Structure 1
């Protein structure tokens, strides 16, 4: 217990007051804890001759901006205040001549910057005083100079950050000593566009994309076939252009050893006999052994005498389907594991009795580990999600049911990252060329016109092959006079890939022809896709009557529909048929009059609207707007 002090009145001597103040300062830490409560404050404080003391009712955490503003406004005062409380600021150390990088503060210590306040200001603990704050020069962030290098925006999902100078002048005409480097760069980029590595994309920084997950699953499946002799089957499912073929080719390339790969396509092998012939041909090429010799001899023995009227020449004998099970059963007994790839798997399901699928899947199911056989894997590639429902019951019971899904890039940033990775394909060239090309690619992909063009293409299709076609057209058009990609290059590439307008001469059509097309738009809006001349003529006549009854008034004059006779409209109708804007839906018949032959209009509403706007006829434009 501290000794009790006698109360002093206002008449106490100054010396005694001073001794009391000094005694209080010695017990600063305990006194501060007691004075945090407003009930412990002295009621009649006397005059103070010692250093001022901080007495806080609460702790206020201010933002750097507010604190800087408060300190700046109180600079002229001898004792700055915050919320009515006097503060004695510690003596600031001299500001260093240059700013340093912000480093981590030591635990348990509050760090205060002399010039730039930190983003997160830690609150003062009750036992800490402003005079005990420590300053570390390494805690101030660096402000880069104007000549410093700026980093290239990193590729999504990680990767190295490439430092680029802020000011590089790209030459308009490539110097002679850099021409070989341009050729090497073009060759490297075109090779990367053809490889399967470019189909791998990363959706975000932490999670791999759908194709990366599919690659892992497929690689594990085929790795068990090639190393342990397993029999596996799966279905690779995904939309067109999602990287299914590239994924399976890359997986086979990464497998240990060199398995036998048999590639069949449902677009080429329309029946089981053609598929059997293709399997035997590929086996002969990869193993050096003929598997159709005995089959060809059996077929030749059963044939009749050849036709004498046919010139003798090389013929290809196709074995009968009865030899299919015998050939498929040989696959597990080969010297190396076998992988069968069935492209367009859903088309194989339309074969008669699905004999090929039954033999393959039955052999896969009977292929067990430890029987001395090599593995067999069957991988089907398809875009139909209901392919399993197309299989027969006996085939479905032998299928494993594994389905591995692929997906195209999910956002525009993935396309830009793929473009940056492909265009920045490394080559063995000079450092000067590498710096120029890297900066040119960075400038190209940062151009707003380029980004808008890529966004428009991405909105139309998610097929990554379309992006490869655009990049291929850009790279092939690079010359020594324009060695670096620009917005004009991608605009020219897009114009070659887009479809041309079907009917570019609509604006040159006559007034009766435009009226017939507008009448066809009205019939289409009413649900009549098939039209006749009589229908169009009746629609024009009704609009002419309505226009004559209530004409459009412009500057005191009336404007109505122009009269056209039946013969004039019929001649214009025949011109539209001759220009293939109207096509017949039935075969011509002499029993049907030309006015009642059914046609379908091939001109779109947008093209008709542009033609009507270019013609400048207010009445026709008003008639067309009624069809919406």
Structure 2
């Protein structure tokens, strides 16, 4: 293996082996932290084909395009786009023999990345666009004009420095819904307008990324008229088997020996249980992948295989968080409500309200009290509501904000307890911020929990 190989040169490992364990370590860590993507994206082949086809038409055929990629956080939107961009390197436009050397020195396309979290105004976005395109001439003078004029100037500078064939631009707009909150939406209008015109002088593709399914309602009429209305939807994986396969692909190198060890680690009962818990809790692969980071970071020539003991320790550390230490002091009623929430998670919904939790708790208690000679106390609803509010204050339970409901997000902890609101607080939707396995651990760690509740928590 060449010692100077870089991450961009090794999308896949199969033809390289793992003799340079440092490069393997670096690449796997980059995957685990989401900076690069594995060779295969599980469950996203259709979406990948759509996005790659669109970008390929812009880069190869000089065609203007725009698309929105919509899906919940952690579903793989950014990974999907990164993979589509990496595939463009394998589809360079055909060059005549005399142009090959020039093409090696000139990029086939430029990628500009913006984020609604960072680029909070059009001026900030425009300045970063110029920086990413390495254009600084008279920048301060043009920033005092309109966004459209300034952006047109930047495109003219690019055309001045280019050859006969224009260089396409690919704009990746993360947190697209936040960019839509800019005054007059000048940034989005200008980009969509140029993409719609399909100007062969400077063809651009605009890829918006958002977790809000109602994002189209945020766009002004004139912006909608310039948008192509292409939308690609990304969903969480639909089975624990696919979820586990995502983890395996992130750790795969293509080397038979290394990958066999990966399979052994993933088959270990505690590791397999943790991956299943991560799937049941949020379906976000990042929660499962982070427990492998420390073991991957310790790979070396002397220890070229993943350490199962290290991974088990990481699983233990994830479960024994500071929040878990606080929870060990909660009351029995508060613990019973958490067990009731765990039961609701088993119905397939991660969101519920106090009325649903209390009904689940009362159903169990009525069965126990009426079906046996037990003497457990059934708490009245106002008392249970106070216990529920304590869980909210501890941020073990968080309200699902009305503004974020479409995105699957959660709001601040005080939203649920505020006196104002469209619905009574007992009907406001919430989400438990614990994994099902953590609830079971809490029950098992308490000596004062009745045996029947222990069995309830295991169901």
> Structure 2 length as normaliser, TM-score?
0.59
Match of 1:329 among 144, 149, 152: 152
Which of 109, 122, 136 is the equivalent residue of 1:272?
122
Tell whether 2:186 aligns with 1:361.
no
1:407 and 2:219 aligned: no
User: Which whole-Å CA distance do the structure 2 matches of 1:475 and 1:603 have between them?
Assistant: 27
Report the CA distance between 1:477 and its aligned residue: 4.4
Q: Is 2:47 aligned against 1:224?
A: no
Give 1:200's aligned residue: 40
The alignment status of 1:378 with 2:209, answered yes or no, reads: no
Higher RCO (C-alpha under 8 Å, 6+ residues apart): 2
Q: Secondary structure at the match of 1:241?
A: coil
The answer for the alignment partner of 2:73 in structure 1 is 240
Q: Distance in 2 between matches of 1:516 and 1:384?
A: 36
Q: Which residue of structure 2 lines up, in the alignment, with residue 392 of structure 1?
A: 220
Task: State the distance in 2 between where 1:252 and 1:259 align.
Answer: 10
Distance 1:290 1:505, change over 3 A: closer
Return the alpha-carbon distance in structure 1 between the equivalents of residues 179 and 23 of structure 2.
43
CA distance in 2, matches of 1:292, 1:245: 30
1:491 Cα deviation from its structure 2 partner: 2.6
Question: C-alpha separation between the residues in 2 aligned to 1:408 and 1:603?
Answer: 18
Matches within 5 A, 1:539-554: none
Relative distance call for 1:330 and 1:404 in structure 2 (3 A) is farther
Equivalent residue number for residue 249 of structure 1: 82
Change (3 A) 1:462 1:260: same
Q: TM-score, normalised by structure 1?
A: 0.45
> Are the counterparts in 2 of residues 199 and 243 from structure 1 also a CA contact under 8 Å?
no
- Residues 216-250 of structure 1 show CA distances to partners (whole Å, capped at 9, x for unaligned) of 22222222222332221111122212222222233
| 1-structure distance, mates of 2:263, 2:433 | 42
- Asked whether the equivalents of residues 226 and 337 of structure 1 are also in contact (C-alpha less than 8 Å), the reply is yes
Q: For 2:328 and 2:51, locate their aligned partners in 1 and report how far apart those are by CA, in whole Å.
A: 56
| Residue deviations 1:506-546 (CA, integer Å, cap 9, x gap) | 7779xxxx69989x99xxx997x9xxxxxxxxxxxxxxxxx
Contact kept? 1:332, 1:367, Cα under 8 Å = no
Contact 1:280 1:291 in 2 (8 A): no
Aligned 1:497-516 pairs, distance under 5 A:
497-498=318-319, 500=321, 502=323, 504=325
Shift of residue 293, structure 1, vs aligned partner: 4.6
Relative to 1, partners in 2 of residues 1:491 and 1:293: Cα closer, same or farther, differing over 3 Å?
same
Deviations 1:411-464 (A, max 9, x none): 23334434444444157xxxxxx64x4543343333334322322222222223
SS in 2 for 1:425: coil
- With over 3 angstroms needed to count, the CA separation of the structure-2 counterparts of 1:402 and 1:439, relative to structure 1, is closer
CA distance in 2, matches of 1:414, 1:526: 32
Please list, as runs of the form range in 1=range in 2, the aligned pairs for 1:81-480 lying within 5 A after superposition: 183=22, 185-193=24-32, 196-198=36-38, 200-202=40-42, 209=43, 211-255=44-88, 256=92, 257-283=107-133, 285=134, 288-295=135-142, 319-320=143-144, 322-330=145-153, 333=156, 334=159, 335=162, 336-369=167-200, 373-426=201-254, 435=257, 437-477=258-298
Q: How many residues of Structure 1 are paired with residues of Structure 2 in the alignment?
A: 339
Distance 1:420 1:387, change over 3 A: closer
Q: Offset of 1:500 from its aligned partner?
A: 2.5
**1:474 and 1:485 in contact (8 A); partners too:** yes
Please tell me whether the aligned partners of residues 246 and 285 of structure 2 are also in contact (alpha carbons under 8 angstroms). Answer: no
Distance change (3 Å), C-alpha of 1:450 and 1:499? closer
Instruction: Give the equivalent residue in structure 1 for 2:104.
Output: none
Superposition CA RMSD, Å: 4.9
For residues 517 and 417 of structure 1, the distance between their equivalents in structure 2, rounded to whole angstroms, comes to: 36
The 1:469–1:329 alpha-carbon spacing in structure 2 relative to 1, beyond 3 Å, is same
Mapped partners of 1:325, 1:441: distance in 2: 52
**1:122 matched residue in structure 2:** none
- Structure 1: how far apart are the matches of 2:449 and 2:206? 64
Matches of 1:526 and 1:408, distance apart in 2: 26
Indicate conservation of the 8 Å contact 1:449/1:487, yes or no. Answer: no
Quick one: structure 1 residues 227 and 383, their matched pair in 2 at CA, closer, same or farther if it must change by over 3 Å?
Answer: same
- Structure 1 residue 488 corresponds to structure 2 residue 309: yes
Residue pair 1:231, 1:364 contacting (<8 A) in 2 also: yes
What is the deviation of 1:615? 4.5
1 or 2, which has the higher helix percentage? 2
Where does the alignment leave 5 or more consecutive residues of structure 2 unmatched?
Answer: 1-13, 93-106, 339-352, 358-372, 378-389, 396-412, 419-431
SS in 2 for 1:290: coil
SS in structure 2 opposite 1:404? strand
Question: Is residue 236–residue 382 contact of structure 1 (8 Å, CA) maintained in 2?
Answer: yes
- SS of the residue corresponding to residue 198 of structure 1 reads coil
Whole-angstrom distance in 2 between the partners of 1:617 and 1:220:
59
Say which one has the larger Rg: 1
* Distance change (3 Å), C-alpha of 1:229 and 1:467: same
Q: How far did 1:267 drift?
A: 0.6
